[in-house]
Amino acid sequence: MDFSGARIIITGGLGFIGSNLAVRLVEAGADVTLVDSLIPEYGGNLWNIEPIKERVRVNISDVRDEHSMKYLIQGQDYLFNLAGQTSHIDSMNNPYPDLEINAKAQLSILEACRKHNPSVKLVFASTRQLYGAPQYLPVDEKHPLAPVDVNGINKMAGEWYHLVYNNVYGIRSSVLRLTNTYGPGMRVKDARQTFLGVWIRNIITGEPLLVFGDGRQIRDFNYVDDVVEAMLLTAFSEEADGEIFNLGADDPINLKDAATLLVDVAGRGESRVVPFPADRKAIDIGDYYADYRKIRAKLSWTPKTGLREGFAKTLQFYEQNGRHYWGDRHE
């Protein structure tokens, strides 16, 4: 994959996955523009690009701003479309921003591509949440879609806009349905993006890890470097155009055991099994882990970072940089 000299725009570029992708692309010699609203609830953090801050352009803009996107998309070779409202709870408490960001804004972005840069290649970050409560495991791309929350419905609309524009207008687009992504740069001050971030923070600050329900819910996890690799492969491959791919892992684990493993890797801390909060119980999907054989077969992607190694790398990062992610409260 040669991205040297490629002009690349990343929406949500100051967020967790976007910033890790940016670092990888800058190191590969790409010309990178990051677009991020820096709305506090959505995870953007300037510290995420500290190692490359002099080597990227940053545009503080909201993907809901149609005029900005019309300008920014021009002349770009690739668009990694990662901006989104990711909190399932927030989508239920206030559904309208989720609709605007995860559905309407996606249509605006695609219209900007159609009118101003139809040759751009898009990679859209979607979510396992579209599947809802699995009817069978592991979940493959043919599994019925049955979102259990507003976020899942709007992300489903967002990904299908991309596929329609691929099929009708030839705007080359690919969709990745992500599972639980973790690693350096993830949001850790609350559970808006993932419960694992709160676990990482609590280990470091000496608070217990809270496992909801009975802790037997099975999940799969991807370390962020593996997710970035999948995005680059998808962007670079013509075989990926118009396709949907699950990401997944070879080591699914129940949440109680995941908490125990994190405590073991850290060498300190404790976990507690506690009752589900009512708002989270209502949209819990039970067990989930993905079948990722399609992307393995078409693009030769497999996750390379096991959970123990990934936990160790993530803990080390937040031991050194935690104050940039949860402020003065625990300094």
- Domain hosting 96: range is 7-181+221-246
Q: How far apart are the first and last CA of the chain?
A: 41
pLDDT for residue 330 is more than 70: no
| CATH number of the domain encompassing residue 108 | 3.40.50.720
Chain segment 103-156, per-residue pLDDT in tens:
999 999 999 999 999 999 999 999 999 999 999 999 999 999 999 999 999 999
**What does the pLDDT look like over 84-108, one tens digit per residue?**
877 778 888 899 989 999 999 999 9
* Residue pLDDT, tens place only, 267-319: 999 999 999 887 777 778 889 999 999 999 999 999 999 999 999 999 999 99
Candidates 65, 48, 41, 39; CA nearest to 13 is 48
Cβ-proximal residues to 1 (8 Å cutoff; 6+ apart), any chain? 28, 232, 233, 236
Q: Where does the chain show beta strands of DSSP type E? A: 7-11, 31-36, 57-60, 78-81, 121-127, 173-178, 180-182, 209-212, 218-219, 221-223, 244-246, 253-254, 271-274
Residue 21, judged by CB atoms within 10 A of its CB (0-12, 13-18, 19+), counts as buried
Q: Tell whether 145 and 209 lie within a shared domain.
A: no
pLDDT in tens, 218-244: 999 999 999 999 999 999 999 999 999
pTM: 0.95
Domain tally for the chain? 2
In terms of domains, do 213 and 318 share one? yes
Tens of pLDDT, residues 157-189:
999 999 999 999 999 999 999 999 999 999 998
Q: What are the tens digits of pLDDT across the range 12-34?
A: 999 999 999 999 999 999 999 99
201 plus 147 within the same structural domain: no
Please check whether residues 27 and 118 belong to one and the same domain. yes
Instruction: Looking at the structure, tell me whether residues 23 and 168 fall in a common domain.
Output: yes
